[in-house]
């Protein structure tokens, strides 16, 4: 059997390596255009790698925490971190992971294991000021700038994390929503927590002590650096929570931050109610460690 064609056996037209076939001129021009485009993007710093390096440099730029040794209390305006006592992760934002809906004007919030103080994981406390005088008259007033238990506050993101991101917002604050068809946590399906440039009552949290039995007596007491606190969202009535759902992003593996009050389901509260005669419906359960945070910033830390 002959496996060669007649043209191959008789000898057909052959091309050498120097002969160009096809639309070779168009390929050469396209190569030149790609090269010029690459050089222009490299000079302008708009390459994908350049954008990624700039993003990392902005988000992870070192930030000095407030180290005022005059007292051991947390003041409004102090640059601090929120560290979860269970996982050891700190609350952080990702300004490049923004909500595609323009009206939301929000970006993602997570818990990062990169605990070194940087732009994306540092915050400042702001006092909540009601818009009406009637509402302001119902809140306790303090003469100093110290953070107190039972005080309503807002958590503002470090402005250094927003610089150069192209996000046109003046101040970005932590914000949470009630669970709905349009707002819910991505993994746990609980209350969503984001960092938003829209200021509203959805950005207000109340600083509480983890023990419900001590909340009444601790109201108005200054918050010490490193003391355990619970951040109760005023609109949803859910505490800030660092769950166990992990996911990977450009900064590595991080944990989801949501709004959910995790309580014990054991029989200890029932037995205590039977012993003291207080019905379990009248006794508030203490939140779990996933809801407890420590304010990191001062050199003096409460054990």
Q: What CA–CA distances, in Å, run from 93 to 59, 175, 212, 249, 296?
A: 9, 12, 29, 12, 17
Measured CA to CA, the distance from residue 85 to residue 242 in angstroms comes to: 10
| Backbone angles phi and psi of 222, in degrees to 5 | -60, 145
- Determine which helix (DSSP H) or strand (DSSP E) holds 217, and give its type and residue range: helix 215-218
pLDDT value at 281 more than 60: no
Instruction: Give per-residue pLDDT as tens, 218-250.
Output: 999 999 988 999 999 999 999 999 989 999 999
Instruction: Give per-residue pLDDT as tens, 14-37.
Output: 655 566 666 777 888 889 999 999
For the chain, the structural domain boundaries read 22-59, 62-296
- Determine which helix (DSSP H) or strand (DSSP E) holds 35, and give its type and residue range: helix 24-44
Instruction: Give per-residue pLDDT as tens, 62-83.
Output: 999 987 667 889 999 999 999 9
Architecture of domain 62-296: Trefoil (2.80)
- pTM to 2 decimal places: 0.80
Give me the pLDDT at residue 255, please: 96
């Amino acid at each position: 059997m002959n496996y060669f064609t007649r043209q191959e056996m008789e000898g057909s037209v052959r091309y050498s390596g120097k002969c160009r076939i096809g639309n070779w001129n168009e390929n050469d021009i396209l190569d030149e255009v790609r090269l010029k485009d690459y050089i222009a993007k490299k000079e302008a710093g708009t390459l994908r790698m350049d954008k990624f390096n700039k993003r990392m440099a902005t988000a992870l730029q070192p930030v000095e925490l407030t180290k005022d040794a005059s007292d051991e209390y947390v003041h409004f305006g102090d640059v601090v971190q929120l560290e979860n006592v269970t996982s050891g992760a700190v609350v952080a934002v990702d300004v490049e992971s923004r909500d595609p809906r323009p009206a939301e004007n929000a970006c993602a919030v997570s818990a990062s294991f990169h605990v070194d103080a940087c732009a994306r994981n540092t915050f400042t406390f702001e006092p909540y000021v009601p818009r009406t005088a009637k509402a302001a008259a119902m809140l306790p007033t303090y003469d100093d700038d110290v953070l107190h238990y039972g005080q309503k506050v807002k958590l503002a993101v470090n402005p250094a994390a927003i610089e150069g991101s192209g996000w046109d917002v003046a101040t970005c604050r932590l914000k949470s929503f009630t669970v709905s068809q349009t707002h819910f946590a991505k993994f746990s399906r609980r209350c969503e927590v984001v960092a938003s440039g829209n200021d509203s009552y959805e950005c207000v949290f109340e600083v509480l002590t983890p023990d419900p039995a001590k909340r009444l007596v601790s109201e108005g007491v200054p918050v010490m650096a490193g003391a355990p606190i619970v951040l109760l969202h005023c609109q949803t009535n859910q505490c800030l929570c660092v769950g166990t759902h992990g996911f990977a992003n450009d900064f590595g593996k991080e944990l989801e931050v949501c709004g959910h009050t995790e309580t014990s389901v054991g029989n200890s509260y029932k037995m205590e109610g039977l012993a003291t005669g207080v019905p379990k419906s009248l006794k508030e359960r203490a939140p779990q460690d996933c809801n407890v945070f420590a304010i990191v910033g001062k050199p003096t830390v409460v054990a």
